[in-house]
Amino acid sequence: MRPDFLSFSPPSLGDAERAEVADTLSSDWITTGPKTKAFEAKLSAYLGAPGMVALNSCTAGLHVGLVALGIRPGDEVIVPSMTFAATANVVEHVGARPVLVDVCPDTLNLDPEAAARAISPQTRAIIPVHYAGHPVDLDSVFALAREHELEVMEDAAHALPARYKGTMVGSRSNLAAFSFYATKNLTTIEGGCLTGDPELVDKARIIGHHGMNRDAWKRFDKSGSWYYEVVLPGFKYNMTDVQAAIGLHQLERLAGFQWRRREIVTAYSKGFGDLPAIQTPVERPEVESSWHLYVIRLRLEQLRINRNTFIEELKRRNIGTSVHYLPVHMHPFYRDKYGYKPGDCPVASDAFSRMLTLPLHPGLSDRDVQDVVEAVRDVIAKFEA
């Protein structure tokens, strides 16, 4: 057993990020300013995004995206149940109803057939989630949207960088929201962005900065003006230059991060490939996953313990894990408000009861990866049925 605890997903920060933050703190501008604009420009070019606004979270991106799309009370928005609750929460924030649907058994992404069955005359939009970094079947989602005249906004919190049929997630004209939270493939500690059609993104930029007219952030700069107008009741969702300073160098290191993530995924899949008690994650041939998460599912009929005990056994072996996620339809708020039952999304409910997420980040050494594999195999050997 390893002597020290292996954290689940610490950030990978280096001297360049620290120096850039120090430079920002020594400057006259620490909130939204020139480094935020530079980060937006570089990330937009990297993704090939038609438009982009940097924000303080992916949740902010989803929220202002819905407002920009005109989603309002009385509307319905289709959301997969296997996601972090923020995806559904933002629908509640605009007064609409999130209609929770089941997911595909292999990827745990939104099931297009389940989404089709959930469409009603009140349905205005679909929010597909690229779960764990594996792109959704976007062809089916967009076909469904065209047929029923629905908006599509991608929850790409896990999907930097990911590709669907060779196309980078976030490069289309529909809105897509990314996360730069501390555990993400690229971090700004807290942060996110929204990509898509430039007109929609410009509207979202105003919504996310108090509803101030364009370029109001420059009002304290020599080239700016003190005068601004509030054109709508917006929110306080802007990214700061301190955050962007980190993001600038994280973006430069992203290719190396992804190379290491794929190495670790290959080692895990090889290390667990002969274990009938484990269902390993997939990568469909038409996509390139960002491999934000490595989620295994236990075949509990082959074990004498449940998922929670399995996690505790790994903790005893100094291996940190997590669970992604308790399905939204099982959270008390959504369960009680809308009367959802576990059986309403059976694939998501079953997956939750069997899943755990193993450490996956660029800082893992080969020895760390081997320790994870050995610990998982040891637990299975001890508790196999």
Q: Which residues are catalytic?
A: 184
Residue 36 DSSP symbol: H
Strands (E), the chain: 52-55, 76-80, 97-101, 123-126, 151-155, 163-164, 167-168, 175-179, 192-195, 278-279, 287-288, 294-298, 355-358
Q: Is there a contact between 167 and 144 (Cβ–Cβ < 8 Å)?
A: no
The number of beta carbons lying within 10 Å of the beta carbon of residue 63 is 25
Phi (first) and psi of residue 343, to 5 degrees: -70, -10
Q: If residue 320 lies in a helix (H) or strand (E), which one and from where to where?
A: none
Beta-carbon count within 10 A of 19 CB: 12
What is the residue whose two structure tokens read 């660029």? 362
Q: What's the rounded Cα separation, in Å, for the pair 162 and 217?
A: 32
Alpha carbon of residue 77 to chain centroid: 18
Side chain identity, residue 371: D
Question: Quick one: DSSP state of residue 134?
Answer: P
Q: How many CB atoms lie within 10 A of CB 301?
A: 8
